[in-house]
Each structure stands twice: as structure tokens, then as C-alpha cells.
Amino acid sequence: MDLKIIIIIAISYLYGFFEIIMNLRQRSQSHLTTSRDKGSLWLLFALISLGYALSFFVGVAKIGGVYPWNTFFIIGLTLIVIGLVIRVHSITTLKQFFTYSVARVENHKIIDTGLYKFIRHPGYLGQLIIFMGISTAISNWLSILIMMISIICGYFYRIKVEERFMIEQLGDDYLNYQKRTKRIIPLLY
């Protein structure tokens, strides 16, 4: 197996461990008052797993490969770092209000500082950029397509569930926040 594929797989596992550790840490520190995930976390996990599996299979099989490998590998690694910085920034901005499940925490309030001033889901943006980086580093256009379609479908559902819940929990405050911000991409969506 190509060394670059091994590096991408290692980075993927390290990122996965980071998310698991953050999830466990968040669970031990938060005081959830209401939760209504509607299976969105499990669906997202399943679609991410499917995207990874198919993307790496296509990449290893060299179906749809793009060259030069080195250029796409470097672009992919750069995207991973950018996405990770955005993801960590979003988690640290939310502090005790960050949860993996769609849930309300004690004394929940809207955070509209940092990236949250412009978009409602910068953590998801960070993850999307990370996944785009991983699939780009594979240097395979079909891998990128497979990974991103799978993951975007999961995030669309997740955002829909989360935003309905936030409106239900925070009412007009969240509706006003929605009017001032976009979902994931500043000025666009």
C-alpha cells in the first residue's frame, strides 16, 4: 500500500480518536436537560463510515485517480489542518454548551461570538473541511465525490434536526439568530 494512503488512514484514525475523546470529556462535564437527537448522530456516524470505506476503497483501487499525487496530498493535508482549527475553535467557543447529541444544557444560551457571529454551525464546517481534506489527499476525484455526498447528506439531516430543536428550546432568540447568520458558509448558506 502507498505510504501516502497509510498516512491519510493514520490521520483519519487520529482525528477519530480526537472526536471520541472530546465526546467522552463532554459527556462527563455537561448537564443535559433535554435531548432530542432523532438518530441524527448515529445516521451521521453511519454515513461518515460509509463515506470513508467507499472513498478509501476507490482510492486504493486507483479508480478515478488524479495526478500529480503530491499536489493533491499537500492540498488535502492543508484542508485537514484548516478544518481542525475551525472545529477546535468552535468547540472552545461554545465551552459548556458544546454537545455531541442534539441537546439543551443547563442555562443554555445562544453563543454569537467568534465564528458563531457569522454561521450557526462552524463545528460542522470544520468537519466538512476535514473530510474534504482527507478525500482530496487520496488524490482521487471519485473518492472526493463519494465521501462528500455521503457526509453532506448526514449533515443536512443533522442541521435540520438541531435547528428545529433549538427553535423549540430557545424560541425567538434562536429565530433572530437565524436571521442574522447563515448555516455553514458565510453569506451563502
Q: Which CATH number belongs to the domain containing residue 113 in this structure? A: 1.20.120.1630
Does the model's pTM come out above 0.85? yes
- Residue 59 resides in a domain: yes
Per-range mean pLDDT, top range of 102-111, 147-156, 178-187: 147-156
Residue range 159-181: average pLDDT?
92
pLDDT at 81 over 80: yes
Residue range 137-166: average pLDDT?
92
Which segment of 4-8, 99-103, 120-124 scores lowest on mean pLDDT?
A: 99-103
- Residue 5 resides in a domain: no
Which pLDDT score, from 0 to 100, does residue 34 have?
A: 60
- Residue 72 resides in a domain: yes
- Residue 16 resides in a domain: no
pLDDT at 163 over 80: yes
Average of per-residue pLDDT values in the chain: 87
Which pLDDT score, from 0 to 100, does residue 99 have?
A: 82
Which segment of 35-44, 60-69, 88-97, 116-125 scores lowest on mean pLDDT?
A: 60-69
Whether 37 contacts 101, CB under 8 Å? yes
What confidence category does residue 86 fall into, taking pLDDT thresholds of 50, 70 and 90? very high
DSSP notation for the chain:
--HHHHHHHHHHHHHHHHHHHHHHHHHHH--EEEE--TTHHHHHHHHHHHHHHHHHHHHHHTTTB-S-HHHHHHHHHHHHHHHHHHHHHHHHHHGGG--SSSEEETT-----SGGGGTBS-HHHHHHHHHHHHHHHHTTBHHHHHHHHHHHHHHHHHHHHHHHHHHHHHHTHHHHHHHHH-BSSSTTT-
pLDDT at 76 over 70: yes
pLDDT in tens, 32-46: 656 677 788 889 889
- Residue 39 resides in a domain: yes
pLDDT at 25 over 70: yes
Share of the chain above pLDDT 70, in %: 93
- Residue 19 resides in a domain: no
Which pLDDT score, from 0 to 100, does residue 106 have?
A: 77
Which pLDDT score, from 0 to 100, does residue 98 have?
A: 81
- Residue 14 resides in a domain: no
Q: Which residues form the domain of 108?
A: 32-180
- Residue 3 resides in a domain: no
What confidence category does residue 162 fall into, taking pLDDT thresholds of 50, 70 and 90? very high
Domain count, the chain: 1
